[in-house]
Structure 1
Amino acid sequence: MRKSISILAALLLCGASGVALAHNCPNEMKAIDARLSSKPALSPENSAKVTKLRADGEAYHKAGKHDEAMKSLLEAKKILGI
């Protein structure tokens, strides 16, 4: 019984971490938007790539694909240096 409770608790914590990440997507998008509004010195290629990654991240977030959203958004942040 005690082992079952531990396993159940671990599963609940794993599920909660997924929900926490799902709610972080908007914060990542805000950080990208704030950096873009400061007109960073980016090559035209990197600027286009960041814009596309940001849009992809938002689309994935709205579709409930939060892992993909975070991957896109974090890649955009890396290019922006944040």
Structure 2
Amino acid sequence: MRQSLVLIAGAVLAASAWAHNCPNEMKAIDAKLATKPSLSKEQMEKVTKLRKEGEEAHKAGKHDASMKELTEAKKILGI
């Protein structure tokens, strides 16, 4: 029983840490965008859209969706 509680507590803490990483991901994307990366117009539009959707999902408490969008944007940016 005690082991189960420890595992559950660990999972909750890990999920919480993951959820609070969204702002760091957005900062990394913003920093890369500030360097004017050499992307096509379509890629830049996609990154901008993903960044915006990621922030909106984060604000709505949908952290898994936020991280998915932000991770995709980072892949396009090469970070």
| Partner in structure 2 of residue 6 of structure 1 | 3
Corresponding residue of 1:56: 53
Task: Give the 4+ runs in structure 1 shifted more than 3 A.
Answer: none
Which runs of no fewer than 5 residues in structure 1 stay unpaired? none
**Distance in 1 separating the partners of 2:38 and 2:58:** 27
Gaps of 5+ in 2: none
Q: Give distance in 2, aligned partners of 1:55 and 1:18.
A: 22
Does residue 30 in structure 1 map to residue 27 in structure 2?
A: yes
Give the match for residue 64 of structure 2: 67
In the superposition, the TM-score normalised over structure 1's length comes to 0.95
Shift of 1:71: 0.4
Aligned residue number for residue 40 of structure 1: 37
Give the C-alpha shift of residue 26 in structure 1.
0.3
Deviation of 1:12 (Å): 0.6
TM-score normalized by structure 2? 0.99
Q: Percent identity?
A: 59
Alignment: residue pair count: 79
